[in-house]
Structure 1
Amino acid sequence: MTSTTNTKKKLIEVAIPLEAINAASAREKSIRHGHPSTLHLWWARRPLAACRAVLFAQLVDDPSSDLEKFPTHEAQEVERKRLFGIIAELVKWENSTNEEVLERARAEIRKSCGGELPPVYDPFSGGGSIPLEAQRLGLPAYGSDLNPVAVMIGKAMIEIPPKFKDRDPIHPGVKDRQFYRNAEGLAEDVKYYGEWMREKAWERIGHLYPQADLPKHLGGGKATVVAWIWARTVPSPDPAFAGVPVPIASSFLLTPMKGKEAWIEPVVDKATKTIIYKVRHGGTVDELARAKDGTKSGRGANFVCVLSGTAITPEYVKESGRAGRMGQALIAIVAEGKGGRYFVEASADHEAIAFSTKPSWKPETALPADPRNFWTIDYGLTTFGSLFTDRQLVALNTFSDLVEEVRQKAEEDAIASGLSADGVELRAGGTAAKAYSEAISVYLSFLISKLADKGSTICTWDAGPASNKSASGRSARVATVRVTFGRQSLPMTWDFAEVNFFSSSVGALETVLKTLATPIQYFGSSTFQMELTSLGSGAPTR
């Protein structure tokens, strides 16, 4: 018996233009406008440019596989260089929806695959980069994942947009164009109904988000609050001040920006056993350094009582938290007005308003007993609900209730705009009024998830750099709020920033909605669809 060896190789087995792929992948990290990563957080999301290039190189034959057409090494190199040129154009972010560039790539795939575009299946699709790029190349895309969040991200990127591509929006507002490409109409509706949801929420809970009164030296008048800065508190361990709540804050620094320095100073009155938090501007190097350390004393949960100088040990903090004696005190307000950003002293009225409301529902699901990644449990914060203030929970509950109202309103508007009232749901393959309204609600559910990421007590205030210029000479980032999932764990926070969901700044619904709606318009460029199904509930389907 004689054996034959198949020497046919794909391009990826021989060579690919790594420099072009790496450059495009690196650049992608700085792209936020329209990038799928802004749709919803997912860990270890693969670069789109790399996925697109690898899919192409896996399917296209290397020139050495066709010796009749490319008999010499030189001829093969010339052809390989031509294919590299296609990849170099294909990986550019600007060409993500360029049909001319994409069709050139599809033509090469057809030539190497018997005139057809073969299917691609990703069994652990995660953030959906591989199925998305397969779909962009015209390949029938299949995928699955064990995590339901990954499944929904995949559906939102790959399955839903093609169902409603090239449609005008259905909302009753002004439409400034005659034709909408890809999922632009869907993106427009998501933005419209998200704004409608914000307006209705403001009518119901806007009184919980008052404006800040600016002092005379800041020009006076009112300013919209960007965030309230809170410090967790425990009772003073000193018997002389027993029961008096004292701050355990990792930092009192608001901004070290040169010429705009601002920090919080706790002013203590031992006679009355009270603490008032003053916002100071300017300051010496030593004052700013002390402010940066808050009431910390070394690493971990080691603090100092501002009333007596007594050490507050990690064991004492844990004991206080487990016993329900850990509280919170408002220590500063960050506001924004015509003159820019202001740091305003804490207000008793603002603190009272924050404490004046209670949520009708609170998530009581226990946090995982994993002390390596869930640090809050040791300090008495043992449920998901305990990671939010009451005001945050009231707001998130309100937004959640409004999603159902949006679904009903959008279905009525869709019928009024001419879509069929067939009653077929999205999951049943519907494409008319009911399915469309459900599609909008999927994205607005993502909106609430993103707001929760920016609106918990794990979010801390990032004071930013001391210079307004980075090492490259560009404008440096400004002070802002860190999100809950800055890493793949839930750390314990000692001071935190509660964003105003109704401002127009960091963490606000208006700002988050833009990052959500923008990428939707880039989806649905292919007529191929993909349905993701959890592996636990059946086989993947298309």
Structure 2
Amino acid sequence: MTHPTDNNQPDASERSPVTNAPKKKLIEVSLPLNAINEAAQHEKSVPRKGHPATMHLYWAPRPLAAARAVLFAQLVDDPSSRPEEFATPEQQDAERARLHALLAELAKWENSNNKPLLEQARHEIRRSTPDRQLRFLDPFAGGGAIPLEAQRLGLETFASDLNPVAVLKTRGLLEIPTRFADQPPVHPGAQALSVDWADASGLAEDVRKYGAWLRDEAFAQVGDSYPKVVAPGGTEHTVIAWLWARTVRSPNPFNPIETPLVRSWWLSKKKGREAWIEAKVVDGAVKYTIRHDKFGPSKDDDGTMRRGNAIALGDGTVIDNDYIRAEARAGRLGVHLIAIVAEGERRRLYIEPSEEHIQAALLDRPTDVPDQLIPTRNHDVDRLPMYGMPTWADAFTNRQLLVLTTISDLITKARDKVIADAIAQGMHEGESFESGGRGAVAYGDAVATYLAFALSKLSDWSSSICSWISGIEGVRDTFARQALPMVWDYVEINPFSNSVGHFYTHVDWVAAGVAAMPMGTSSAAGRVQQADAATRDYAGYVVSTDPPYYDNIGYSDLSDFFYVWLRRSLGGVHPDVLGTLLTPKDGELVANPNRHGGRDGAEKFFVQGFNQVFRRIREGAEPGIPMTVYYAYKQQDTRDTGTSSTGWHTLLSGLIESGWEVNATWPMRSERSGRMVSVGTNALASSILLACRPREATASATTRRAFVAALKWELPEALRTLIQGSIAPVDLAQAAIGPGIAVFSRFSRVREADGSDMSVKDALLLINSTLDEVLGEQESDFDPDTRFAVKWYRQYGWGQENSGIADQLARSSDTSIGALERGGIFEAKGGKARLLPPVQLEGAWDAAADERVSVWEATVRLAAVMAKDGADKVAELLPSVQTRVNLDAVKELGFLLFHEAEKKKDTKDAILFNGLVSAWGDVNEQARKYASTPRSSQQEFDFDEDED
């Protein structure tokens, strides 16, 4: 890769002042991004039981793989910052590769509690930060993933959030398990077990035991409201779920039929197990029959709801949404039981409604239910008030409210039992958990907290917003997405069955999460508090955080769904966190137009709050270690403008205005491997990670000309490191923003020709333009055939063009059409010429016996073979390919061709070249087994482990 000439260097007077720069960390130079992203993707597919995210729902959970990897790379020195140990670029590359390999293993979900590996990671952190115990803080803790991983890596961990639901969940991850580590359970029924109660396994066992007691007591009190059902053959079965439809009376005065509002009549679409509901009007009322023939309702006549309007049964009267909404607000919506789902022999049984089961659900509303009002000015939660259900209690049926209030009340009794049993086992009484206690009272508080988590999970599966999924014969929980929709035909599960969302399964899942919590040293024990990020203290903390996503998620309004139950169950256990009627709203750092006088006011509030938070962090954070900040995209960036959602610009501008330099930007993807949302994007990530350091207070201003010169001077070397690392082509443009915006943000301001300050948007446009230039400059380093092919591909792709043009272009590239044809990459006949497309180069190939091999031929052939036959076949070819061309050049050409395909909006080619380069590290690793002799020079892999 070429560098700009000395004449392009920025004038010394226009550079930022020379300072004693802190050591660069790995995250500021290079990451094994593919390995991290693959681990994050894999984490989403593993069995979720025991995963912290399943202990209690919170929105936008951060993958543990990403959080753990980022923290490690944030704390460990890059080899280039330790020249006394790694003097040459080759030594630095080798050490970097070792750290990458460790990081790749560390990121894997399966290694979350691999104690030898974790100790190795802690050792590397201590090497880079000797003689001090690092204090970590996440001021926007949310679901708790980042502080959990800080604790796992041995840091003294602190976390805070303004949202009390986030605080309680994070306490359940960080504080409670470590405080009661290595203690046996206190439940009398658990003492007979011969078990080594290591880590939090004893605590987890008590959660299960007292959870089972709680279930049995609740069933004894309200089980009569959940009767069994008799199937047509006379056999009795436990009900799994009741399917209900809200109803509205037809506005047709001549046929005012009470019409069920149903999305779909299908119960099961599984082959051989088809089931659906047939609804007919009989004597002025609707009768529901279960049918099992596979020829059920078609798409056009499935259900009664059509784009928000309803179709009346019997006469087809259209019932518009305005009428439905008015009837709902007037309290005139009804409900019909339309089907019963029961436990059968390895399959679901679908049974028609019966009067007994209708009557069983007709209960009076219990007293002391959560009657707090649902916000009506947030589109995430305003659907229920819109349809005549103004309070949180209205999200539940009376029977659901009965079981939830019963269990909530029993949690207090379960806590009392835990305390009594703990004292009987010899534990001192002590103070409450919130007061720092470690005795019986605090232990009772701990178990009660987890039982309340199980109740939260039950509420998610036991509201009138749950719906039936015919494709899997299962239930969609309340928060299938980050909003509360209006559900017309809903599911009411049986919390005492052995299927879909029953109470004890939630107890067991919470307990599994407790048992899986990492146990650090006593100095690494977590501490969690409710605090406003804009006003709290940051002195001496290392910070990594995932702040609110501008206007994407209404965290506090959504959290109230759980908060009202947590407060009812644990108000006396966590009074500091659960003291308000609802979660705090005014100080929440989100851009909510309804709270702040419209969109402009919301943006101003967010920008001011964001800048205040990160200005305070800059003033107090641990010196010498960068801060890392995640940003989750709501929409993709476009290379045409370099812009994205307002939040992305707000984030970058806010950090820079708050006195931060942004030194790296890394695309963190948790989507499935190979996913490409669109061509022409410079951010295909689900989130972007930024590594930042405080800008020097004495930083100087500069001009647009000097900024561009600095970009052209510094970006090539940064791109070389990225390309020679393990980044995928699809991620290069986003990652290149890091070193580019680092140049921009090191200056106090960049002046335009008219004296105004350059915006972040314009800086991103210049960075993208410089990236184009740098990648284009690679061409001069390629062989003549490859230079010709790149120019031809850029102009004509795989299409035909005049042979005369091809001859001229070949001569200018110091090659000829005949040479190109002998090289197997080009053909010219009948006055027409073209590059041979990948499909014609995917067959058998012996590079060693090939008369003429170019970097182009090697790259296109290998990409085609990868797409057709996979990585193993490419690895088999590499030992012979590397005897003819430089493999580093093949990788660089892969990056360039992806870049060109992206600009041409050619998705097929972009995927082809991204696939080859993304797998480059794995392919090189696999190639070792095919190598028979060591190479004479170091390239991408080294076949002889002992070679100097």
Same fold at TM > 0.5 = yes
Name the residue aligned to 1:472.
none
Secondary structure in structure 2 of the residue aligned to 1:215: coil
Structure 1 alignment gaps of length 5 or more = 465-477
Aligned with residue 226 of structure 1, among 213, 216, 240: 240
Name the residue aligned to 1:425.
432
Aligned with residue 162 of structure 2, among 133, 141, 146: 146
Secondary structure in structure 1 of the residue aligned to 2:175: helix
The code of the aligned residue for 1:257 comes to K
Whole-Å separation in 2 of the counterparts to 1:283 and 1:222:
26
1:383 and 2:366 aligned: no
Cα deviation for residue 274 of structure 1 reads: 1.6
Name the residue aligned to 1:37.
53
Aligned with residue 183 of structure 1, among 200, 210, 213: 200
1:284 and 2:295 aligned: yes
Cα deviation for residue 449 of structure 1 reads: 0.9
Preserved CA contact (<8 Å) 2:246 2:261:
yes
Q: TM-score, normalised by structure 1?
A: 0.92
Name the residue aligned to 1:266.
279
Name the residue aligned to 2:304.
295
Cα deviation for residue 143 of structure 1 reads: 1.3
Whole-Å separation in 1 of the counterparts to 2:352 and 2:23:
72
Change (3 A) 1:208 1:412: same
Worse-superposed segment, 392-401 or 175-184: 175-184
The code of the aligned residue for 2:224 comes to H
Residues 419-472 of structure 1 show CA distances to partners (whole Å, capped at 9, x for unaligned) of 1123x10011111111001100001111111111110001011111xxxxxxxx
Whole-Å separation in 2 of the counterparts to 1:186 and 1:313:
54
The code of the aligned residue for 1:203 comes to A
Whole-Å separation in 1 of the counterparts to 2:22 and 2:397:
64
Cα deviation for residue 290 of structure 1 reads: 5.4
Residues 286-329 of structure 1 show CA distances to partners (whole Å, capped at 9, x for unaligned) of x24356x3112x311x1111133211111110111011110111
Aligned with residue 491 of structure 1, among 471, 485, 488: 485
Cα deviation for residue 5 of structure 1 reads: 4.0
Residues 256-297 of structure 1 show CA distances to partners (whole Å, capped at 9, x for unaligned) of 11111101011211xx21211001101326x24356x3112x
Aligned with residue 201 of structure 1, among 218, 229, 246: 218
The code of the aligned residue for 1:231 comes to A
Preserved CA contact (<8 Å) 1:259 1:282:
no
The code of the aligned residue for 1:163 comes to R
Give runs of aligned pairs for residues 90-105 of structure 1, distance below 5 A. Answer: 90-105=106-121
Cα deviation for residue 536 of structure 1 reads: 4.6
The code of the aligned residue for 1:429 comes to G
1:275 and 2:313 aligned: no
The code of the aligned residue for 2:443 comes to Y
Name the residue aligned to 1:468.
none
Worse-superposed segment, 386-395 or 527-536: 527-536
Residues 54-93 of structure 1 show CA distances to partners (whole Å, capped at 9, x for unaligned) of 1111111111111121111111111111111211221111
Name the residue aligned to 1:532.
528
Residues 189-239 of structure 1 show CA distances to partners (whole Å, capped at 9, x for unaligned) of 0011111000000000000001111112xxx31111111000001122221
Worse-superposed segment, 357-366 or 89-98: 357-366
Secondary structure in structure 1 of the residue aligned to 2:342: strand
Cα deviation for residue 524 of structure 1 reads: 4.3
Q: CA RMSD in A?
A: 1.8
Change (3 A) 1:524 1:102: closer
Preserved CA contact (<8 Å) 1:34 1:520:
yes
Cα deviation for residue 540 of structure 1 reads: 7.2
Give runs of aligned pairs for residues 407-446 of structure 1, distance below 5 A. Answer: 407-422=415-430, 424-446=431-453
Cα deviation for residue 146 of structure 1 reads: 0.9
Whole-Å separation in 1 of the counterparts to 2:249 and 2:19:
81
Secondary structure in structure 1 of the residue aligned to 2:315: coil
Give runs of aligned pairs for residues 469-508 of structure 1, distance below 5 A. Answer: 478-508=472-502
Preserved CA contact (<8 Å) 2:280 2:314:
no
Figure out how many residues of one structure are paired with residues of the other and give that number. 517
Preserved CA contact (<8 Å) 2:113 2:518:
no
Change (3 A) 1:391 1:429: same
Worse-superposed segment, 196-205 or 232-241: 232-241
Q: TM-score, normalised by structure 2?
A: 0.53
Secondary structure in structure 2 of the residue aligned to 1:276: strand
Name the residue aligned to 2:36.
21
Whole-Å separation in 2 of the counterparts to 1:284 and 1:86:
56
Structure 2 alignment gaps of length 5 or more = 1-16, 542-948
The code of the aligned residue for 2:531 comes to L
Cα deviation for residue 380 of structure 1 reads: 0.8
Name the residue aligned to 2:312.
305
Aligned with residue 170 of structure 1, among 171, 176, 186: 186
Name the residue aligned to 2:371.
364
Preserved CA contact (<8 Å) 1:167 1:179:
no
Residues 92-138 of structure 1 show CA distances to partners (whole Å, capped at 9, x for unaligned) of 11211111101101111111112434111111111111110000000
Preserved CA contact (<8 Å) 1:144 1:540:
no
Preserved CA contact (<8 Å) 2:247 2:258:
yes
Preserved CA contact (<8 Å) 2:54 2:510:
yes
The code of the aligned residue for 2:420 comes to E
Whole-Å separation in 1 of the counterparts to 2:357 and 2:182:
47
The code of the aligned residue for 1:386 comes to D
Secondary structure in structure 1 of the residue aligned to 2:286: strand
Name the residue aligned to 2:699.
none
Preserved CA contact (<8 Å) 1:247 1:329:
yes
Secondary structure in structure 1 of the residue aligned to 2:525: coil
The code of the aligned residue for 1:311 comes to V
Whole-Å separation in 2 of the counterparts to 1:86 and 1:116:
23
Whole-Å separation in 2 of the counterparts to 1:458 and 1:517:
26
Whole-Å separation in 1 of the counterparts to 2:270 and 2:54:
28
1:250 and 2:258 aligned: no
Change (3 A) 1:317 1:3: closer
Secondary structure in structure 2 of the residue aligned to 1:173: helix
Cα deviation for residue 8 of structure 1 reads: 2.5
Preserved CA contact (<8 Å) 2:75 2:125:
yes
Whole-Å separation in 1 of the counterparts to 2:25 and 2:490:
53
Select the structure with the greater relative contact order (CA < 8 A; seq sep ≥ 6). Answer: 1
1:402 and 2:410 aligned: yes
Name the residue aligned to 1:238.
252
Give runs of aligned pairs for residues 54-73 of structure 1, distance below 5 A. Answer: 54-73=70-89
Q: Kindly name which structure, 1 or 2, has the bigger radius of gyration based on alpha carbons.
A: 2
Residues 329-377 of structure 1 show CA distances to partners (whole Å, capped at 9, x for unaligned) of 1000011133521111111110111003431233221111136222122
Task: State the identity %.
Answer: 46
